[in-house]
Amino acid sequence: MTNEAVKVNGYTCKDSTQVTPEHFYFQGLATAAAASNTSTGAVVTGATVEKLPGLNTLGLSMSRIDYAPNGLNPPHIHPRASEIIFVLEGQLYVGFVTTAGKLVAKYINKGDVFVFPKGLLHFQKNIAKSAPASVIAAFDSQLPGTQSLVSSLFGALPEDILVKSFQFKPKQVKRIKSRYQPKK
């Protein structure tokens, strides 16, 4: 018999004799992040299997999203999860786009809940001009994955594809692409 660790969903399963309470504990969602220091005015703090090993094989995770006044969690998808958010504070405009291209959007307030179906493009925007907002998000995946629409398109796709797709001039595409470096 080999001494290799057993991996499930890409993550090592702990030997039950080696498990500690710390594998099931994460305090990173307790405090608001400094969202005003970001270009979009939003910060996502995740509690996924990467930070909370006890989530391995459980099919769930959470995040806290903090928004500066007028902050935006830009359009993105979670390819491996549906998402449900609970508003801790503030007022947000949230929505998703169906596969038929229809926008489903609503203004939500403290105490409200909104659901984003798996794999659909969605966003959240703090509508307050002078007050922050925060939500707690739950996912039906230990690692939902996030693909940002803008950085995926302009950071990865070739210029000629973007020019033809958006009917932009090459100069416009170059300018936008310069803000989004491709992932290595």
Residues making up the binding site for Mn(2+): 76, 78, 83, 122
Q: Give the DSSP letter of residue 181.
A: P
Joined together, the tokens standing for residue 130 give 């002078």
Q: In angstroms, what CA-CA distances link 30 with 61, 65, 88, 94, 136?
A: 15, 11, 11, 23, 10
Distances (CA, A) of 125 to 74, 114, 159: 8, 13, 29
Residue list, annotated binding site for oxalate: 73, 78, 83
Residue type, 84: I
Token representation of residue 46? 């995740």
Contact of 80 with 45, CB cutoff 8 Å? no
165: burial class by Cβ within 10 Å (0-12, 13-18, 19+)?
Answer: exposed
Specify binding-site residues.
Answer: 73, 76, 78, 83, 122
Give the containing element (helix H, strand E) for 46: strand 42-47
E strand intervals along 50-121: 61-67, 72-77, 83-89, 91-97, 103-109, 113-116
Element housing 147 (H / E) = strand 147-148
